[in-house]
Structure 1
Amino acid sequence: MSAVARDMAPEPHDFRKAMGSFAAGVTVVTVCHDGRLVGTTVSAFSSVSMDPPLVMVCLKRDSRTLAALGQARTFCVNILASDQGDLAHRFARSGADDRFALTAVKAGVCGAPLLSGAVAAVECELHAAHDGGDHEILVGRVLRVVVDEAKAPLVYVRGGFLTI
């Protein structure tokens, strides 16, 4: 980083506030590795390409989900429904071992868990990984999607959930 960029960098609190003002969908990225289910709440998710179908998700470097995904090489991005705020909170808690306890799941085509009641499930195989500072930027090649258009998505902005 150049000296100019370092001197101009925003305060972490201000940067977090600015990024929190950008409304984002809420997802839970899930992985099954060696029969163990892991997952975490993620708002940094986006489509990348239609041909081939690619998506991008960012996971913290110290995430158990990232470690499992690196081994399994497949994952599912579950796009949460407006009534799944409690699920988003449960999967966001650091170190929680009961994330799947109250949630119905079924194995997708790649083995990653699909969460019951989600707006959509995007099943992927790992296509590429890139350095993203304290996160890893993962690009997944989409294998299959499951969509429930009757459900409204959950949205996160300024520290709270909204429905549309």
Structure 2
Amino acid sequence: MDDRQFRTAMGKFATGVTVIATDVDGDVHGMTANAFMSVSLDPKLVVISIGDKARILEKIKQSQTFSVNILAADQQELSMIFAGQLKEHREVEFDRLDGKPVLNGAVAQIACEVSTVHVEGDHTLFIGRVTDIHLEDAEPLIFYSGKYRALAEAVTV
């Protein structure tokens, strides 16, 4: 199989959209990602996967902390900003949750401290110990087959 076929197959898995954020010396750094999942309930652990070429990789290694911001359906522009898809500079305001930078209005804000680091292939997996969570009642932003989507109401037959 070639790289394109692999990427297309992985794109067939519908995911939420997150912005991973960290803070180094007062400067907040963020990146859009959908490579995120829960790992354990006891202790509360999550994992994020960061590519070797991502600028945020060294920042998380330095800070040993990160937040996962699960974006709401009305936050597509934030996803595009942190994915580098918008060329014009836009200032983004961050709030704080347990001292970690978080995005206001996200469906979930998850503050984490790095617990373990695994290098696998061309990515680094950060296992994060969850230190705090804030939830909002909003619909999530969805990504499927290379496009942003929204949840549809369930239809009962």
TM score, norm. by length of structure 1: 0.87
Query: Which of 66, 70, 77 is 1:79 aligned to?
Result: 70
Q: Percent identity?
A: 39
TM score, norm. by length of structure 2: 0.90
| Deviation readout 1:111-157 (Å, 9 max, x if unpaired) | 32110110010100000111121111110000000001x20011101
Q: Distance in 2 between matches of 1:32 and 1:135?
A: 20
Residues 1:35 and 2:23 aligned together? no
Aligned length: 150
Q: Deviations over 1:92-124 (max 9, x none)?
A: 118x8946x1x3311221x32110110010100
The offset of 1:31, in angstroms, is 0.4
- Counterparts of residues 1-150 of structure 1 (less than 5 Å): 10-93=1-84, 98=89, 101=91, 103-109=92-98, 111-148=99-136, 150=137
Which residue of structure 2 lines up, in the alignment, with residue 160 of structure 1? 147
AA aligned opposite 2:14: A
For structure 1, the 5+ residue unaligned runs are: 1-9
Considering only aligned residues, what root-mean-square deviation do their CA atoms show, in Å? 1.6
Q: In structure 2, do the counterparts of structure 1 residues 20 and 128 end up closer, same or farther at CA, with 3 Å as the change threshold?
A: same
